[in-house]
Structure 1
């Protein structure tokens, strides 16, 4: 039984899909004007765990993800420039170049983190006709109005507006969307189609029944999700920052047309918070503020991407996770130890054995309890420490567990290592420390080598050197 938290109901309940065999899953994808930061990537890791859990539970999954390459303004208040245009102008490139480059970078991030790609990528610019048609349907129902800068959705015509965020319209007025565009009737009203400024040609614009311009950000997800997944969806995911505006607006658009509930399960991942050593204050990672860390920066620090995935698994997806380099380094060491154990089991106990039903039961219970990965990892380590089960059984159990964890443990291989002079010196120093029984120094050097990608495995035949 898979139990998941539903943001709409604020409860954990047994998940039951519309179709007993196929789960429809829509996840909000990247706006490809810049690199994804590791806070964004934490959300995609959570969604990957969800998807793997659905597979593990026997479901097929039809997964659709959008790619925003137009319409996402720098302000949630429907003001400011398009993020794609700002990026292209600042770099002196065509928008197509910017979009292709950062989309490819995002795909490489997913590959580095062993995140399964969606079945279908949907680019907003490939679906302009669908978005125009969607707006026309809203217009026919009397749900839109036109002002000088565009076509807007009239939120007063959707009585349940704001329920996902548990805010009434007055509450939303007091929130982030405080800059009222001239002519907007309510601060909660949002743009469906923005007109190109008079006398100025935008880098991206299209003809429409209302005039030349471009679609708003929210309409793309509604139009594409309905096109590929239909009028009812099992699960819609994103970060918690989508709840009060983007997902609230998506709901208003779709349910105004269908008259029925659109999404059965809304699921949202919490923020990755930037912490600073010795500082009591924390802050959210944000591309708009320039205060963010990319996966490439992590890699340049000598920490492999899957160590970041392991780091994320140590907190529940609905709990904020504080990022510090010290915390990531500690997770990297723990992950290296896990890989070392996997190598040892693969090389020394290749015989086929059944997985431990007892430990798989504990692991599965944690996963099925709203994707409780900290508890699942605890079950994994407890299993590896248990001396009452055979090594071959541990290997089989670890392999099954990793089908959900996604740490790619089966791919860990012994490799020939070309040792640089500084690595050789550190290994020699550690050997000397062990001979002198200075185990504290030996462990310190061993941890230093772990950060450089070197695993030292002490055996009765001597110290084995492995590569992460």
Structure 2
């Protein structure tokens, strides 16, 4: 019985999906104007781990994670680089795919983009205006925050507290809004960035509206789980609830999940692009085995803060190496194993108790730290068994299969898994970029990986094609 800490109720609740055996899950994805940093990677890995565990427990998970490809930051970077906003977005979507693939993150079932949903956004806003929850003024459209009475419930803030903060803001926008708390659904603009026509004038959507539109369009008016970083709870997710529930009259998401920050430095400062104290995933996966970073990000409870330092990263590397050694030693013993031994049943009964304990720990709000602790206990048991004079192939094959299965929940693979098509395409893009950058070491690594997996590349004037050897 899985229990989830629901940010909305601030307590653990028994997970009961809308549809038996199925999970509709929406996770806020990246704003693609730069490479993702370790803090962004933590959210991506945390929810991938949660998704994998739900699948391990037998659920069919429909996983949607958006990409914000329309944003003032993207437009600013485009101007700085002499590129168009779509070109910048495509560049960093490719980078995000490469970095996520390196971290063994499963591709989302759907990765919707804002630019592909402008008509849906306009229709959504029109309904809010019709219902009196939004109003147009001088080409902008704002949401009437006070009209949605539960506003502030997710972030545990009263409307009076929010009003004090809003009243201190200044600027032209504050002068034209009916209330300082109101937020933008559509923004009039003539700044030379990407814009669209709308019934209210030329402009582009506000940030918050996109997720309401894409989540409800692709997963339905009520979804099971909505996830994202802790910093998104207010105002982004608060505004999503207000928009979505005002439009549909239904609960937007039954369970709200938020991962903790990655901190850095002596004072445990939140890692952030705005603070300039970030380390990119792109850098780290080129300098280190990506499995180390994945293990580092996945092995802590998703709600707890995670301190990034040389010491903590090295500790993850050491622990992962120990688990790998356990696996490899046990694989080696298969060479001289007999079919079965008299004490097989006793050993396997103890092993089953550890499996049950792992499930118990992970069922408790996906407590990865405790789950990994159980895996360490499993490794100890495997090590003791592997050092016996005589070992059973039946036991070893079973524990290796189940040990591997549990590790894949955390994105860890000790045997080279077969690459799926999306991973091959991402690696081809990375290989071509590495060759252009004269990073021949990385290009050769990718070539060798393809060779090991029987994948043949053909470089043509139209681009790189690939096929699997028969």
TM-score, normalised on structure 2?
0.80
1:312-363 CA-partner distances (Å, limit 9, x unpaired): 2332111111111121012112212211222222233277997921111111
Q: How many residues align?
A: 395
Task: Determine the C-alpha separation between the residues in 2 that align with 1:175 and 1:346.
Answer: 61
Q: What residue in structure 2 maps to residue 297 of structure 1?
A: 283
Task: Determine the C-alpha separation between the residues in 2 that align with 1:412 and 1:141.
Answer: 52
Map 1:257-296 → 2, pairs under 5 A: 257-275=247-265, 279=266, 281-296=267-282
- Does the residue aligned with 1:234 lie in a helix, a strand or coil? strand
1:43-83 CA-partner distances (Å, limit 9, x unpaired): 1111011101111111101111111011x4xxxxxxxxx11
Q: What residue in structure 1 maps to residue 7 of structure 2?
A: 7
Q: What residue in structure 2 maps to residue 410 of structure 1?
A: 415
Native 8 Å contact 2:189 2:203 kept in 1: yes
Task: Determine the C-alpha separation between the residues in 2 that align with 1:178 and 1:405.
Answer: 44
Q: 1:345 aligns with which of 330, 339, 352?
A: 330
Q: What residue in structure 2 maps to residue 49 of structure 1?
A: 49
Q: What residue in structure 2 maps to residue 108 of structure 1?
A: 98
1:14-46 CA-partner distances (Å, limit 9, x unpaired): 101000022101110110111111101101111
**How far has the Cα of 1:149 moved from its partner?**
5.9
**How far has the Cα of 1:167 moved from its partner?**
0.4
Q: For the aligned residues, what is the CA RMSD? A: 2.1
Q: What residue in structure 1 maps to residue 427 of structure 2?
A: none
**How far has the Cα of 1:393 moved from its partner?**
4.6
349 and 172 in structure 1: CA distance in 2 versus 1, 3 angstrom threshold: farther
Question: Unaligned 5+ residue runs, structure 1?
Answer: 73-81, 414-468
**How far has the Cα of 1:166 moved from its partner?**
0.6
Map 1:354-365 → 2, pairs under 5 A: 356-365=351-360
Task: Determine the C-alpha separation between the residues in 1 that align with 2:179 and 2:328.
Answer: 61
- Does the residue aligned with 2:376 lie in a helix, a strand or coil? helix
329 and 187 in structure 1: CA distance in 2 versus 1, 3 angstrom threshold: farther
**How far has the Cα of 1:412 moved from its partner?**
8.3
Q: What residue in structure 1 maps to residue 154 of structure 2?
A: 164
Q: 1:328 aligns with which of 287, 308, 313?
A: 313
**How far has the Cα of 1:264 moved from its partner?**
0.4
187 and 176 in structure 1: CA distance in 2 versus 1, 3 angstrom threshold: closer
Task: Determine the C-alpha separation between the residues in 2 that align with 1:96 and 1:361.
Answer: 49
Q: What residue in structure 1 maps to residue 23 of structure 2?
A: 23
Task: Determine the C-alpha separation between the residues in 1 that align with 2:318 and 2:167.
Answer: 43
After the TM superposition, which of the residue ranges 262-271 and 282-291 deviates more from structure 2?
A: 282-291
Q: What residue in structure 1 maps to residue 180 of structure 2?
A: 187
Map 1:317-466 → 2, pairs under 5 A: 317-349=302-334, 356-386=351-381, 387=384, 391-411=396-416
- Asked if 1:121 corresponds to 2:111, the answer is yes
176 and 241 in structure 1: CA distance in 2 versus 1, 3 angstrom threshold: farther
Q: Which runs of 4+ in 1 moved over 6 A?
A: 350-355
Native 8 Å contact 1:303 1:329 kept in 2: no
Task: Determine the C-alpha separation between the residues in 2 that align with 1:295 and 1:311.
Answer: 12
Q: What residue in structure 2 maps to residue 432 of structure 1?
A: none
384 and 205 in structure 1: CA distance in 2 versus 1, 3 angstrom threshold: same
Task: Determine the C-alpha separation between the residues in 2 that align with 1:57 and 1:363.
Answer: 12
1:398-418 CA-partner distances (Å, limit 9, x unpaired): 1221231221123289xxxxx
Map 1:198-217 → 2, pairs under 5 A: 200=191, 202-217=192-207
346 and 105 in structure 1: CA distance in 2 versus 1, 3 angstrom threshold: same
273 and 342 in structure 1: CA distance in 2 versus 1, 3 angstrom threshold: same
Q: What residue in structure 1 maps to residue 60 of structure 2?
A: 60
Native 8 Å contact 2:166 2:180 kept in 1: no
Question: Unaligned 5+ residue runs, structure 2?
Answer: 341-347, 387-394, 419-470
* Bigger fraction of residues in helix: 2
